[in-house]
Amino acid sequence: MIRPVATTREMTGMPTGRLAVWWVIASEIVIFGGVLGSYIMHRIGHPEWEYQAAHTNTMAGAFNTVVLLTSSLAAVLAHNAAEQKNGPKAARFLMLTCLGGFIFLVVKSVEWTNEIHHGYTLASSTFWSFYYMAAGLHGLHVIAGMVIMLFVAADARKNKELQRVENIGIYWHFVDLVWIFLFPLLYIAK
Amino acid sequence: MSDTAHASAGSHGDHSKHYIKIWAILLALLVVSVVGPIIGEKLEHGGTINHHMRLILTLITAFGIAIVKAFMVVKHFMHINLEKKYVTYMVTAMVGFMLVFFGGTAPDVLEHEGTHWENVSAKEVVKRGQAAGAAGAEHHGGAAHPAEGSHVPAAPVEQEVKH
């Protein structure tokens, strides 16, 4: 469907940068997998957590899912533009992706402020510890992705290093992927 | 030199419409995953279905659809099917490690007693948490794990061996 703009190494058969991103994702699967796996087994073993889970804001979580899915669309459209050697257009889509990440973080901040205001903090219970730790770790990945994306967009605007548009896009889709699982676990299973 | 994994699959054409279509499907699936459990809850309260059926409905609409959404993102946005095969193997192996971790540790967490052991403190925490939750005492965020919320230490012996 899409051909990359980077060069390929003979030994691996793919650009080294993109392979590195896949390795990052492979390690992230173990990190988030451990967190989510632990959460699932404790959630099943502790039916009393339902009283705490009832206080998470499903609509805020659903809205943030829409935001992240839309930012993922912008990221893949940036890749599409980079494939057509249209750096400025790719940069614009990357900035839209960043905007999605920013909106996600703003909603999360409002949500957390409200929950902390009601007394649900990191130390309130094991459920809330998992909630803040899992969502917080994910939020840090959103911030990291946004920072890298700004650098990639700055180069892409000058039609430089366009292969990086795809690389950061793959990372961003993974961040989206983690949220796809976090959302039902933290907001829907009540 | 071009990338063989991707080059074999197509051209530099504009695929915007395809991506927008996938995005629309993902949003539609999201709606189902949110509405499904809500409908299940209403049906249970109305007596149309029992608690067991409601759980199945939640599992299918929320978690089943999450897996479908994840698959769509990996295939259509991350293009893993256009990568070298070893990338798929690498990612799959990591998911496998995750399952090994889950399978190895879950038996001690999912249940609080077995043939020759009993997790006394965990059972106590569940009992007190359910009592506090049912009484509506969770308003200040400490009810799900009363041993922490009330600063009362849990039973000192984590596991007792049955004789």
* Residues A184 and B33: beta-carbon distance below 8 Å: yes
What domain range includes position A168?
Answer: 16-188
Look at residue A4 and tell me if it is in a domain: no
Nearest CB to A29; choose among B6, B9, B95: B95
For residue B54, the model assigns a pLDDT of: 87
Cα distance from N-terminal residue to C-terminal residue, chain A: 41
Using pLDDT thresholds of 50, 70 and 90, give the confidence band for residue B134.
confident
Quote the ipTM score.
Answer: 0.91
Phi, psi of B117 (to 5 degrees): -150, 160
- CA–CA separation, A137 and A151 (whole Å): 22
Window 154-183 of A, Cβ < 8 Å to B = 169-170, 173-174, 176-177, 180-181, 183
Indicate whether A11 belongs to any domain.
no
Give B110: exposed, middle or buried? Use CB within 10 Å, 0-12, 13-18, 19+. Answer: middle
CATH no. for residue A27?
A: 1.20.120.80
Identify whether the C-beta of residue A47 lies closer than 8 Å to the C-beta of residue B126: yes
Is A35 within 8 Å of chain B by CB? no
Of the candidates B76, B98, B109, which has its C-beta nearest A41's C-beta? B109
pLDDT of residue B132: 84
| CA distance to partner chain B, nearest, from residue A154 (Å) | 22
Low-confidence residues in chain A, pLDDT < 70: 1-8
**B4: pLDDT strictly greater than 90:** no
Neighbours of B148 (CB within 10 A): 18
A77 located within any domain: yes
Is the residue at A115 inside a domain? yes
> Over the stretch A16-64, which tens digit does the pLDDT of each residue have?
999 999 999 999 999 999 999 999 999 999 988 988 899 999 999 999 9
- In this prediction, residue B51 has a pLDDT band, given cuts at 50, 70 and 90, of confident
- In this prediction, residue B69 has a pLDDT band, given cuts at 50, 70 and 90, of very high
Cα of B58 to nearest chain A Cα, Å: 8
Express each pLDDT in B111-130 by its tens digit. 899 888 899 999 998 998 88
Look at residue B1 in the predicted model and tell me its pLDDT: 35
Within a domain: A7: no
What is the predicted pLDDT for the residue at B152? 42
Q: Within a 10 A sphere around the Cβ of A11, how many other Cβ atoms?
A: 7
Greatest CA separation for chain B:
72
Could you write out the three-class secondary structure of B98-136?
A: HHHHHHHHHHHHHCCECCCEECHHHHHHHHHHHHHHHCC
Q: Which of chain A's residues have a Cβ under 8 Å away from the Cβ of B27?
A: 66, 69
Whether A1 maps to a domain, the answer reads no
A121 contact B CB<8A: yes
- Cβ–Cβ gap B141/A188 under 8 Å: no
Which ranges constitute the DSSP H helices of chain A?
16-45, 50-53, 58-83, 87-117, 126-156, 163-183
User: Structurally, how many domains does chain A consist of?
Assistant: 1
